[in-house]
Amino acid sequence: LPVLFKEELKNEEVTEGASVSLCCELSKAAPVQWKIGSKVLKASDKYQMRQPGTTAELVIRDLEVKDT
């Protein structure tokens, strides 16, 4: 069976310079690739990815307008 979103991402409104945590839940464990536009995000001081089981989480620190 294909992997489906059980809980999709929700829009978040935050202030520049703050941090945000984006989460989604999948129907079964599968690798998740986070992107901004066509740019694939890689773990760094700015981006932290976690994926315990079927929940995928992206934390973006020091938000800028380009992170929209």
pLDDT at 63: 94
Q: Which amino acid is residue 15, in one-letter code?
A: T
Structure-token pair, residue 13: 């409104």
User: Is residue 65 in some structural domain?
Assistant: no
Contact, 63 vs 12, CB < 8 A? no
- The answer to the question of residue 68 being in a domain is no
pLDDT tens, 19-59?
999 999 999 999 999 998 899 999 999 999 999 989 999 99
Which pLDDT band, with edges at 50, 70 and 90, does 7 fall under?
Answer: confident
Confidence of residue 8 (pLDDT cuts 50, 70, 90): confident
Identify the domain containing residue 26 by its residue range. 5-60
CATH number at residue 30: 2.60.40.10
Determine, yes or no, domain membership for 66. Answer: no
Q: How many domains does the chain have?
A: 1
Give the whole-angstrom CA distance, residue 33 versus residue 28.
15
Distance between CA atoms of 65 and 26, rounded to whole angstroms?
28
| Close Cβ partners of 68 (under 8 Å, ≥ 6 residues apart) | none
